[in-house]
Amino acid sequence: MLSSMPFALIVLLSIPLETLAVPRPLIPAAGQSVPLKRKAQVTRNESEWAEWAKSQRDAVMAKYSPQRKKRSTGVNLIVNQGLDSSFYGSVAVGTPPVAFDVILDTGSADLWIADTHCDSTCAGTGNFDPSKSSSFQNLSKVFDVTYGSGEAMGTLGQDVVQMAGFSVQKQQFGAVTATSSNFLQNPVTGLIGLAWQSLAASGAMPFWQALASGGYWDSPLMGFQLTRFLNDSSAGNLEPGGSLSMGFVNESLYTGTIDYQNIPNGQASYWLQAITALTVQGKSISLPSGAASYAAIDTGTTLVAGPSSGIQAIYAQIPGSHPGSGQWEGFYSYPCNADVVVEISFGGPSWSISPADFQFTATGPSSTDCYGAFYEIPTAEGSPPWIVGDTFLKNVYSVFRYDPPSVGFAALSETALAMNGANAVVPTPTIGADTAIVTANSATPAHTLGHLTLVISAIFGLLFLL
Ligand SMILES: *[C@@H]1O[C@H](CO)[C@@H](O)[C@H](O)[C@H]1NC(C)=O
Ligand SMILES: *[C@@H]1O[C@H](CO)[C@@H](O)[C@H](O)[C@H]1NC(C)=O
Ligand SMILES: *[C@@H]1O[C@H](CO)[C@@H](O)[C@H](O)[C@H]1NC(C)=O
Ligand SMILES: *[C@@H]1O[C@H](CO)[C@@H](O)[C@H](O)[C@H]1NC(C)=O
């Protein structure tokens, strides 16, 4: 499968680290040039020339040998939307680059952006306009991806895609013209799948995997810290959501060690983990072994879904719980004043979910019963029985490691915990359509992504092809 995939050209952008921390419009600066100066004539004897020749050759070999590729790291700040309903970051697409807010989804592997031709199902403003990108290529193939919560359709295209300071030339993605209703919540205009290529509906190499497999990251992994605002009655619709790091783990966001557990049987498609133990109020639930207890670790799913046997066993430990009905079929209610603590182990330590995350929402305006965040889904062919989403992930620092394929968790640091429910400025990855019309001439000096970098990118691109 890999060998039939189009080759993505990847380059690192020379953006200083401090500018990487804040998602912002990537605006090309005016063309830059370096003045040339003539050097004084060099006179060398024979042995000096020989030494010079060797050093030149060594330098070129070092620069272009695969092991000595320039490696780097980057960060994308996340926005928490709708009281922990979804977590989005930003990508920039095209030439000139335009930024789009995209759901960060470790539970799927396709990238797509709503196209300007998208029908009323797309959120409206700031959609991708292929006609405004000089580097866009229409691959004229149908793009159609189905999720648990909806569907997105359009055509497959390719263009330069940038995120967290990294750039992938010829990244394939869906230019989407229809989604199922309410899929996109303004300002979100798309989704970036951060799972493995074998899961991609388009078959395209995912952005993250192109970077990780190409050796462009200092460490072949991504780190997530996600914030909690669910139990903060003064929270707004958009709040700071934490961060996604590429190529490194941010040591100030966790304490202790990261416990890595391999993806079972090397089946890298979802970020799979086997649930080996699960307790409710300290009592353990009996779980089948092996594939019947596999879970997809999924930043793009709000809650935790599981097979009815497991979910029933969980609520059996919570006095006063009842199955929901109608729209709430598959959910369970329980008395809001119960502090429910669920702990999950994936083969290593037990990770505890706070009662604040277990308590999803009240069953009615003045009700003393609440729905829990764990709900039943029917088992489906090809899908893992458990989907472990943000309800769990808000309680740990999580790491998605390319090599060896594994998922790691660590306890959140005080610094990370202090961001939960905190009043702070919401990162502004959204720049909307206006940026599309920013030209090189009107660029401000503050932006360091210059034409120079794009030219260098192009040269590297050529070297890759040779
Ligand atoms: C070349 O120049 C270096 C330094 O000036 C000197 O040490 C060396 O002996 C010279 N070699 C020859 C072959 O003339
Ligand atoms: C790509 O080309 C097809 C026709 O082959 C067209 O229907 C579609 O709208 C184009 N998509 C984009 C994003 O330009
Ligand atoms: C929300 O829940 C967390 C974890 O249980 C707790 O530390 C925090 O104080 C709660 N916040 C509010 C506003 O109740
Ligand atoms: C790591 O996280 C801390 C706390 O959020 C942040 O201040 C720092 O900039 C992060 N480091 C990097 C390299 O992003």
What does the block give as tokens for 265? 């049987």
Q: Return the minimum-mean-pLDDT range out of 46-50, 186-190, 282-286, 437-441.
A: 437-441
Residue with tokens 């893992």: 384
**Percentage of residues in the chain having pLDDT higher than 70:** 79
Options 84, 110, 159, 298, the catalytic residue: 298
- Quick one: pLDDT at residue 26? 33
Among 2, 86, 32, 61, which residue's Cα sits nearest to residue 301? 86
Which residue is it, tokens 């670790």? 297
pLDDT at 439: 21
Mean pLDDT of 106-117: 96
* Mean pLDDT, range 117-134, rounded to an integer: 86
Ligand 3 pocket: which of 354, 392, 412 to mutate (most atoms within 8 A of CB): 354
Q: What is the pLDDT of residues 268-281, one digit of tens each?
A: 999 999 999 999 99
Ligand 4 atom nearest to 419, measured from its CA: 5
The residues, any chain, with a CB within 8 Å of residue 222's CB and separated by 6 or more, are 194, 208, 244, 245, 246, 399, 400
pTM (global) more than 0.85:
no
* H or E stretch covering 343: strand 342-345
> Quick one: pLDDT at residue 124?
63
More confident residue, 4 or 112: 112
Q: Would you state the pLDDT for residue 409?
A: 98
* H-run or E-run covering 110: none
Indicate if 58 belongs to the active site: no
The region, left, alpha or beta by phi > 0 then psi within -120 to 50, assigned to residue 422 is beta
Q: Which residue's CA is the nearest one to ligand 4's atom 7? A: 252
- What pLDDT, on the 0 to 100 scale, is given for residue 64? 54
Ligand 3: distance of its center to the CA of 231 in Å?
6
Q: Report the nearest-CA residue for atom 11 of ligand 1.
A: 47
Domains and CATH numbers, the chain: 74-218+428-457 (2.40.70.10), 251-417 (2.40.70.10)
Ligand 4 mean position, distance from CA 445 (Å): 25
| Phi, psi angle pair for 60, to nearest 5° | -65, -40
| Residue pointed to by tokens 């006179």 | 43
Q: Report the alpha-carbon angle 266-347-349, nearest 5.
A: 135
Evaluate if residue 331 carries a pLDDT over 70. Answer: yes
Q: 62 C-alpha vs ligand 1 centroid, how far in Å?
A: 27
The per-residue pLDDT for 420 is: 98
What is the overall mean pLDDT for the chain? 83
Annotation says 105 is catalytic: yes
Ligand nearest to the CA of 52: 1
Please state the rounded mean pLDDT for residues 314-338: 97
Is the CB of 158 inside a 6 Å radius of any atom of ligand 2? no
In percent, the amount of the chain with pLDDT more than 90 equals 68
Type of residue numbered 219 = S
Tens digit of each residue's pLDDT (9 = 90 or more) over 18-75: 333 333 333 333 333 333 444 455 678 888 888 888 777 766 665 555 444 567 888 9
Q: Which ligand is nearest to the CA of 412?
A: 4
pLDDT of 14 > 60? The answer is: no
What pLDDT sits at residue 42?
Answer: 61
Which ligand is closest in space to the CA of residue 173? 2
Answer yes or no: is pLDDT of 365 > 90.
yes
Nearest residue (CA) to ligand 3, atom 3? 356
Region 415-444: mean pLDDT is 58
Residue whose CB lies within 8 A of the most ligand 4 atoms, among 73, 78, 218, 243, for a mutation test: 243
